[in-house]
Structure 1
Amino acid sequence: MRRIAARPLTFAAAVVLPLLFTNFARAQDRDVAGARDYPGIGRFGGSIITGYQTKDFDAVKLQTAPFKDGKATDARTVEGRVTRIAYRTGPGPSILEVSRNFENQLSKAGFEPLLACNTDDCGGIPFTENIDVLPIPAMWIDGFDFRYVAAHKRDGNVDTYATVLTSKNNDAITAQLIVAVVGAMDNKMVDAAAMAKGLGDKGHIALYGIYFDTDKATLKAESAPTLGEMAKLLNSQPTLNVYIVGHTDNQGSYDHNMTLSRQRAEAVAAALATSYKIARGRMKTAGLGFLAPVGSNATEEGRALNRRVELVEP
């Protein structure tokens, strides 16, 4: 068996990981929940989305020149709004065909190529260890058989970078598109004083410093500062009771989003009760899904505004 992953593997991993991906691929016959194509680029015909992640602010490591002597010659890290999408295409097309289709779409969308290379030209396995790749089973990369493309466009004062990584697992072609819109991080920290003012002025306040992975209700560690400020507010006003209300964008079904938004609100209340000793009886939870948007769900910017947790005073 030839070595088929980008990183050195034990014998057991070299056997188990390809089987894991293959079994996952056989079981999956539709896009992962909440996934969608990137506007203006789309997908190769017959593909399904196996991995999807969008972040209002994140960093992406990309290469804009081939490796030399096993080392990067033009590595870049860009920060901003990042979307990562992994696809799997059934037997038939080649790596080059799938990649070329993405390259043509990027060109039509106004991107200029920075780098287009195949396995050996790129730098082989060391190259794959220094680019951004979604984990198995979302994305599979064969370190001995891949194509990589990096591109850039400038629209006014906005820089956008895109990469396409195309590889193969058995007869399936795997492809990953990453689009990073460069920009500064919005200040989403709302302190206890601002929360108190929002409740006093409007009876509610939106909190954007509460973070979850896409389509999940598990709080991320980055939520701690905002949770701490919520606890500070509740501790400073011992008689204050609040509703914690979860909101989503409109991606996915009504029932799914109603459940997800409620579960996210419950996760916040549970964290405040467990980690900050706020009496659970002071916090009621609810989920409104996408029924109370504050932005247009037709745009990524609007959807980002709609994904939030709100504090509401009864």
Structure 2
Amino acid sequence: MNLPCAIIKPLLIITALSFFAPAGALAQTRDVPGGKDFPGIGRFAGSVISGHQVKNFDTARMQAAVFKDGKPSATPRLEGRITRIAYRTGAGPSIVEVSRNFETQLTKAGFEPLLSCDTDACGGIPFTEAIEALPIPQMWVDGFNYHYHAARKSENGRETYASVLVSENNREIYAQLTIAEIGAIENKMVDASAMEKGLRDAGRIALYGIYFDTDKAVIRPESRPTLEQIAKLLVSQVALSVFIVGHTDSQGPYTYNLDLSRRRAEAIAEELVKTYHIGAPRLRTAGVAHLAPVGSNASEAGRALNRRVELVAP
């Protein structure tokens, strides 16, 4: 049967849209590797973690008031440990139901509300554009249909901020929880002389000043000072060769972490060769995942110690 052209064209468009739909989002039935709930907050029943990002020191914008005339009226810039977790919930619950559950949990955890608003009251699309949401398909935000909640907690002289953005896409509910634990940056710089001493005395030196995004092997720009010190050491010690060994915590599958730690070590070697002109034969790489912990993987403090790079003497 021949279909009229007017019918065929819409069918082709629908087919194309279906083909380019994010298959990972549609097929996801379990948490992303390394994904975990924030302690004391948890998740809405039946949700899976679609995105997970933790940065030991970064900045985050928090909307503490609704927009006025399309512009922010109170947007504190927070510095400290930033955690962003995106959740996807199957069809059924409403934006309101998921939002209220998160708000209840935040209240139980000691957070006091700063702002709760829906689409129009918040400021519409400009409001969502100012929120640092994880990328699609980890988090979906419909600027015409969402709820936002921000809260603050002060405990033992330490401030923590939290926000929850809940929206909907294709009848599924997406929620992003952002936690900003305010704190000063920890000095993790180890200079060339300290590296030399560690290699001489212990045969190894742990480095915490090389940064990667969660689950990635791309070196972040703030790693440059530590890379410069490694290069300085190798330039001053022309006969020195080292192993660069990547380490992770125990979150996520072992085989995944083994590959990630190896790729991160390789990325460091490649950067030293490309940018600092260190001879490639002087740099050997390895990844050991979480097989050589220096802290307990049962605590966040221990896991932070375990996420490191080491220079090891041959």
Structure 1 and Structure 2 fold alike (TM over 0.5): yes
Q: How does 1:113-128 map to 2 (within 5 A)?
A: 113-128=113-128
In structure 1, C-alpha distance between the alignment counterparts of 2:63 and 2:121, rounded to whole Å: 13
Structure 1 window deviating more from structure 2 (72-81 vs 156-165): it is 72-81
Contact preservation (8 Å) 2:33, 2:253: no
In structure 2, C-alpha distance between the alignment counterparts of 1:17 and 1:206, rounded to whole Å: 49
| 1:125 maps to amino acid | I
The answer for the alignment partner of 1:70 in structure 2 is 70
1:51 counterpart SS class = strand
Structure 1 window deviating more from structure 2 (120-129 vs 179-188): it is 120-129
Q: How does 1:272-283 map to 2 (within 5 A)?
A: 272-283=272-283
Shift of 1:17: 9.4
| 2:162 maps to amino acid | A
The answer for the alignment partner of 1:304 in structure 2 is 304
Contact preservation (8 Å) 1:59, 1:79: yes
Contact preservation (8 Å) 1:112, 1:151: yes
Shift of 1:256: 1.8
How many residues get paired?
Answer: 300
Contact preservation (8 Å) 1:62, 1:130: no
| 1:263 maps to amino acid | R
Which 4+ stretches in 1 moved above 3 angstroms?
16-24
Structure 1 window deviating more from structure 2 (60-69 vs 178-187): it is 60-69
RMSD between superposed Cα atoms in Å: 1.9
The answer for the alignment partner of 2:133 in structure 1 is 133
The answer for the alignment partner of 2:55 in structure 1 is 55
Shift of 1:21: 6.0
With the length of structure 1 as denominator, give the TM-score of the two structures: 0.91
Deviations 1:170-206 (A, max 9, x none): 2000100000100011111212122112222322111
Contact preservation (8 Å) 1:96, 1:147: yes
| 1:286 maps to amino acid | A
Kindly indicate whether residue 163 of structure 2 is the aligned counterpart of residue 163 of structure 1.
yes
Shift of 1:20: 5.7
The answer for the alignment partner of 1:13 in structure 2 is none
2:107 counterpart SS class = helix
Q: What fraction of aligned residue pairs are identical, expressed as a percent? A: 63
Greater CA radius of gyration, 1 or 2?
2
2:62 counterpart SS class = strand
Structure 1 window deviating more from structure 2 (303-312 vs 281-290): it is 281-290
The answer for the alignment partner of 1:247 in structure 2 is 247
The answer for the alignment partner of 2:12 in structure 1 is none
Q: CA 1:301/1:41 → structure 2, altered by over 3 Å: closer, same or farther?
A: same
In structure 2, C-alpha distance between the alignment counterparts of 1:85 and 1:95, rounded to whole Å: 17
Q: How does 1:1-314 map to 2 (within 5 A)?
A: 23-314=23-314
The answer for the alignment partner of 2:13 in structure 1 is none
2:35 counterpart SS class = coil
Q: CA 1:247/1:149 → structure 2, altered by over 3 Å: closer, same or farther?
A: same
Structure 1 window deviating more from structure 2 (159-168 vs 114-123): it is 114-123
Contact preservation (8 Å) 1:21, 1:140: no
Shift of 1:306: 0.9
In structure 2, C-alpha distance between the alignment counterparts of 1:260 and 1:50, rounded to whole Å: 19
Q: Which runs of 5+ in 1 are unaligned?
A: 1-15
Contact preservation (8 Å) 1:22, 1:169: no
| 1:70 maps to amino acid | G
The answer for the alignment partner of 2:4 in structure 1 is none
